[in-house]
Every structure is written in structure tokens, then in C-alpha cells.
Amino acid sequence: MAAIRNPIPVTAARLGLLVCRFCGQISRALPDGAAGRCPRCDAAVHARLPDSVARTWAFLVAACALYVPANLLPVMNTSSLFGYKRDTIMSGIAFLWRAGSWGLAVLVFVASVVIPLGKLILLSYLLITVQRRVPTGARWRARAYRALEGVGRWSMLDVYVVTLLVALMRVHALAEIEAGPGAAAFGTMAILTLVAARSFDPRLIWDAASGPTSEDARHG
């Protein structure tokens, strides 16, 4: 007879185990559920990251506030004998497309517009489902979070391009390129998004599917 699969996932928190995020050491939780110390590296260990949802929301809201100016403000200012020009992310993509660099234009559009917006939406979705304790789709959401962390570095692509252009064009005396306020806004937004993803504790995804834990009861 086939074994019956347990539909309720078993988490370390339900078993009274704590995992150190720095060295991976597994230890027993204290009887009162308070935070302990890792027996190997002496780092503080928690069943769940303290205030993970609140801190993630704070970084995420700040990143969302910078998304619009990052795409509307100029990321590159060019001055030459022919005049002064300001380019935003979208105008740069349009220039690459008209110049025939279609692949590069699509790459910059995906890395600069689609991926950051997708990360903001996906991280918001993860936070909402965690707060509402949605029990279904935990496996898919865990995979989505891993993908979110994996593509994070590509959202800085256009900042790298601007930095490279500035370094190359400063060699020439006839033209000078400087990073505009849009580049600063975009870089800050990308960093805030990375920090928000890092602040989110993916173990919270499984709490709703596995039922309440002692950590949930202690924090209400």
C-alpha cells in the first residue's frame, strides 16, 4: 500500500529547532521561545527574523517611491560642441532601438524597467500573502522568492552602462558625460529592493501552511 503523504509541511520552528543564518548550525530553541545564541559562532538565532515583514515593507515602499523618478529623470547628461542633451532610461532605449541595437535595447528595457517592476510586485505579493496567512501555493512562492534573489543583480545593468560611458567619454575633450539624478534614483531604488528582499524571511511562507507555531503565538 502506498504511503500517505503528509499535506502539512513540517518546519524547524514546529520542531523547536533554530538555524543560524551565518554558519548553518542547528540548535534547540529555548524553552520560553526567546532568542538564543549559536553554539558554533555565537551569533543571535531566531525562529524567524525579528520584524521581518515591517522592515521589508519599509524598504519596499521607499523603493516604490523612487521607481517613477528613476524612469522619468535623466540618467545621463551629455555636453559637447553640438549642445547639451539629457537622456532618460526610455530615451536611451529608444536611441538604441533606432540605431539598430535591438538586442541591447531589449536587454536594457528588461533589466531597467521590467525586472525592477516585477520585483516590486512580486515582493508585495509575498508580503501580502504572508500577512494574510494564505495556506496555498507555498511551494510556488518559495521558488518565486529564490528567483527574485537570483535576478536582483541584473537590475543594476543600466547604472553600469552609464558608469562605463562616463569613464570612456571623459577621455575625449569634445564631449563630457555625467550621471544624472535618474541614475542616483535608480541605483538607490535597486539597492533598496535588494535590501528588502534580504530582509524578507522566506520561512514565513511556510508558517500558514504548517499551522501556528510558538513564535506566532508569542508575537500575536
- Residue tagged 509541511 (cell numbers): 9
Residue 57 pLDDT grade (very low, low, confident, very high; cuts 50, 70, 90):
very high
Q: Give the pTM.
A: 0.73
| Residues 126-155: b if buried by 16+ CB within 10 A, e if exposed | bbebbeeeeeeebeebeebbeebeeebeeb
- Is the pLDDT at 130 greater than 70? The verdict is yes
Burial 30-47, CB ≥16 within 10 A → b, else e: eeebeebebeeeeeebbb
Residue 31 pLDDT class (50, 70, 90 cuts): low
Enter the DSSP assignment of 12. T
Positive or negative: CA dihedral 208, 8, 121, 197: positive
Helices of type H across the chain: 52-72, 89-98, 102-109, 115-131, 138-150, 157-169, 181-199, 204-210, 214-219
> What number of residues does the chain have?
220
pLDDT recorded at residue 35: 60
At residue 163, the pLDDT reads 58
Domain architecture of the chain: domains with CATH: 1-47 (no CATH), 50-210 (1.20.140)
- Quick one: average pLDDT of 201-209? 79
How confident is the prediction for the chain on average, in pLDDT? 75
Pairing of strands 44-45, 26-28: unpaired
- Residue 64: is its pLDDT beyond 80? yes
